[in-house]
Chain A
Amino acid sequence: MSGLEFILDGERAVAPAGSTLIRALSANGVETPTLCYLEHTSAPNVCRVCVVEVEGSRPLVPACSRLLEEGMVVSSDSSRVRHARKLVFEMLASSVDLSLVSEETGAWMREYDVDPGRFGPTLRTDGPAASMRPGHHERPDGLSFASVAQPPLIQDDLYVRDYAKCILCYQCVNACGPEAQNTFAISVAGRGFEARISTEFEIGLPDSACVYCGNCIAVCPTGALIPRTEFDLRASGGWAADRQSVTRTVCPYCGVGCNLELTVQDGAIVRVDSPLDHDVTSGNLCIKGRFGFSHVGAQPRSEPA
C-alpha cells in the first residue's frame, strides 16, 4: 500500500492509499467526533457528526466514508466544520435523548458547546412519538421540538429497547442482518421523522425472529439498546461506573472461544460485551454468551434452576 500526500489543517500529511478520511486523520494524530461510526463495521454514513471541509467540495464531507485522495486539502477544525458539528449535535440532541453516548462523544459535545435548547424548548417527553406506530404521522404543534420520546420497550428480562435514545444510525439493523447475525429480525419502518427501528409488524421481540444475540446492543452508540441489568440499575440509580471493573475472559459455553468483557460492579456481573477488535468473533456473541452469566457470583447457590 503506497502513501498518499495531503494537506491536513495546513500541514503536509501522509496516509495509506485506500484510507477513509477518518482513518487518514487518525493516522496523523487528528481525532474526529462520530456517533454512527465504528471502526470494525461498515460505516452507515448517516449521522453527519464527522464532517470535515475538503477544498473544492461545495458541501462538507463525511470523514467516515470519503476516501483520501492525493493532494486533498482537508480542514478538520475550521469554523465551518465546528459550526456544522455543533449544529448536528444540537439537532440530534433536541429530539433524541443522548444522555448515554460514550464519554468521548460527550467530550466532543462539550468541546462544541452543544446547547440542544438553543432554538426552543427541548424534548417533549410526552410527545406524539410516545403513542405513534412507525410511519404514523401527526401534525406538529409548532410550540416545541418534535422528539422521538417514547416509553422504553421492556418485553423480557434480557434487554431493553429505549427508542427515545435512537438516532436511526442502522448499526443495529446491519448487525442483525448482513454484518453479523443474518437474522434480519429488525429493520427501519416508516419514513422521515416517523421512521423507527421495528420488528415485523411491530410484534414483540420474543415472538419475532430475534435470537437474542444482543449483537445490536454491542454496536448501539447511544444506549438505546441496553442489557436489562444495566437498564434496571440505571433506572434505580444504582449504576456506578466508578465502582466498576472490566475483566477479559472466555465464554463458558461452546467451543468457539468468544472473548468476553465482564463489567463487574459490587461483586456482580452487570454487563457482558465482547471486544469488537478481537479476531475470534469480532465482538459478536450469542444469547448464552451475552446473557447467560447469572449462574456465577457470590450469591449462595445450591441447585440448578
Chain B
Amino acid sequence: MWLGIDVGSDIALANAVGREIIAAGLTNDEFIRSATTGFDQYQESVEPWTLERGEAVTGVPAEGIRELAHAYAKAGTAQLCWTLGITEHHNGSDNVFALINLALLTGHVGRYGSGLVPIRGQNNVQGGGDMGALPNKLPGFQDVENDELRSKFELAWGSPLPAKNGWNISQMFDAMEQGDLRSLYVIGENPAQSEAQAERVRDLLRGLDSLIVQDLYLTKTAELADVVLPAAASWAEADGTVTSSERRVQRVRKAVEAPEGARADTDILSAVASRLGTDLGEPSAEEIWNELRKLSPMHAGMSYARLEAEGGLQWPCRSEDDPGDLFLHGRLWANPPEGPLAPFVPVEHVAPVDELTEEYPIRLTTGRHLESYNTGVQTGQMSSPKRLGGTIDLDPHDVRNLGVEAGEVVRVISRRGAVEAPVRVDRNLRPGLAFMAFHFPEEVDVNVLTIDAWDPRSGTAEFKASAIRVEKIGA
C-alpha cells in the first residue's frame, strides 16, 4: 500500500489512523491500561479526525486511511519506520509523537519485530549522539545539566564543564545573527551548502570572527574558513567505531594511508588541545574508547575484543557478559512495567510554515537520490552511471501547464531566493508537488530556496516543505 500523502500532513494522517483504530475497537486495551498514561486526552484529541477529515487534509483517500489503520492494528508485529520526511518539519517532534501514539494504541513497541524505527541517514549520526555530540547530553546520553552526572566527567577529565545546555545548530545560527556566537569549529560537516536558507547561512559564516573547518576536502564551508585542518577519512584511513541505526556499535579500521598532512580526527583534537595548553597525550582509538566505557554505563560492556568477536554490539551493554539489547522498551511489557509509563502525547496538525499561495503555488520537497550522498563531497568523486544531476522534478501536468519541456532550464523561485535548474519529468509526483535533490549544490544550489523555520525541540529546519513557483525563462 502506498499513500500519496500531501507534504506536511503527517499528524493529520496519524490522528485519523488513531481515531479509526479506537473507533473500530482495535486498540490493545491491556497494554494501554498497564503501560501508558494519558489515553483519555489522546482519544479526545483525535475524535475530530474522522476518515473524511483525514482525507480532506492529507489527500489520502478515506478508504486508504481505514485500510492502513486496520492493517497496522491487526498485524502480529508492525514497525513504524521513518526518515527525514517526518523530522525535517517545523513540527518534526510532534510528527514523531503522533507516530508514537499509534504504537502505544496497538502495543507495537518493545516487542521482537514491533517498534518505532527512526532510520539514520549517516553511518554514525547515532554514534555522534552516543558520544555526546548533542547540546544537552554528555556521552551515553547523560544530561549536561545533571550536576551529579556532569561532575563524574569533570572528575575524570580534571576540568570544569559548562553547567548549561549548549545550542543546537539552528540556535547557533540565530546566535551568530545576534552576535553571541563569534567562533565556530566545524568537523566533517558542510553547512554552507547543507543548511536551509543557504544565503543567510553563508553570510553568517563569513561574518564570524573565526571559522575553523576540519574536513576531508576543501568544501564550500572550508573555503570560508580562517583555518582548515585536513582530516583522514574515519572509515578507511583511521581506526575507531561507528554506531548504526539499530544502536549497533561496530569497528571501523584503517585500510589505506591518508594523503600527506591529513590526520585522524583524534590526532588533530589532541594536537589542538596541546596548543591550548592541555596534554591529552596521543591516545589510540581503543584507549579513547575504553575511557568512554568507564564514563558511559550503556557502553561499559563493549570491549574492542568483543566488538571484534561478536560483529558489533547493541547498546545498552552494561557489562562484559551483557549481550546487549536487540530492541528497546521491552520493560513496558513487564508486569507491572518497569520504570515510568509511556505517555500519550496529543498533537495537532499545523500546516507547513511556508504557505502555498497563488504566487507560490507548488510544494517543493527536497531529498536524496540512491546513488548520491548529502552535498556530494564523497559521492561526487564516483563516476556514477545513474547520476541525474541537479534538476527540478515535476509532474507531467505541471510541466505541460508551464509550457516547458523535459531538460529545459527554468527559474525556481521561493520567498527566500531563486535558482535555475533543468526540468526532469517524474510521473511519481503529483500536480503541485516538486522534488529537488540537494546533492549537486554546484549545479543547483537548492538550499537557497529552503526555509529555515525550525522545530523548537529538535532544532531541525523544515527542508521538506517550501513553497515555490516555477517560471519559464524568457517567457
Contacts and interface: CB of A to CB of B under 8 A. Distances in A.
Nearest to A257: B244
A262 interface: yes
A255 B119 contact: yes
A300 B252 CA distance: 22
B68 to A, nearest CB: 22
B218 A250 contact: no
Given A267-B256, A269-B255, A297-B256, A288 B233 contact: no
Contact of A254 (B123, B216, B259, B386): B123
Nearest to A205: B385
Interface in B125-174: 125-126
A34 to B, nearest CB: 25
A203 B273 CA distance: 57
Contacts of A288: 370-373, 379, 382
A301 B244 contact: no
A256 B244 contact: yes
A293 B386 contact: no
Interface stretch (A85-93, A114-122, A191-199, A278-286): A278-286
Given A250-B123, A259-B250, A212 B384 contact: yes
Interface stretch (B234-242, B349-357, B404-412): B234-242
Interface centre among A264, A269, A305 (most CB of B within 10 A): A305
Interface in B6-57: none
B379 A296 contact: no
A298 interface: yes
Nearest to A213: B370
B219 interface: yes
Contact of A157 (B122, B242, B248, B383): B383
The secondary-structure label for the interface of chain B is loop
A71 interface: no
A153 interface: no
A294 B382 contact: yes
A268 B217 CA distance: 18
Interface in A236-256: 245, 247-256
Residues of A in contact with B, size category: 35 or more
Contacts of B371: 211-212, 287-288
B218 to A, nearest CB: 5
A291 B382 contact: yes
B432 interface: no
Contact of A248 (B237, B251, B260, B379): B251
A17 interface: no
Interface centre among B216, B372, B382 (most CB of A within 10 A): B382
A304 B219 contact: yes
Contacts of A103: none
B120 interface: yes
Contacts of B260: 298, 300
A302 interface: yes
Contact of B233 (A254, A255, A296): A296
A292 interface: yes
A296 B219 CA distance: 15
Interface string B293-325: 000000000000000000110000000000000
B52 to A, nearest CB: 36
A264 B256 contact: yes
A142 interface: no
A78 interface: no
A249 B236 contact: yes
A303 to B, nearest CB: 5
Contact of A296 (B245, B253, B256): B256
B376 interface: yes
Interface string B368-400: 001111011111111111100000000000000
A304 to B, nearest CB: 4
Contacts of B234: 252
Interface in A152-192: 155-158
B246 interface: yes
Given A158-B385, A257-B245, A286 B370 contact: yes
Given A254-B122, A295-B378, 17 more contacts: A155-B385, A156-B383, A205-B385, A212-B386, A249-B236, A254-B373, A256-B245, A259-B311, A280-B311, A287-B371, A288-B373, A292-B378, A296-B216, A298-B257, A299-B259, A302-B218, A305-B376
Interface of A: 155-158, 205-206, 211-212, 245, 247-257, 259-260, 262, 264, 267-269, 278-280, 286-288, 291-305
Q: Which 9 A-B pairs have the closest CB atoms?
A: A255-B120, A257-B244, A247-B255, A157-B383, A156-B385, A206-B385, A305-B380, A255-B245, A252-B235
6 contacts: A157-B385, A250-B250, A255-B123, A280-B311, A303-B217, A304-B375
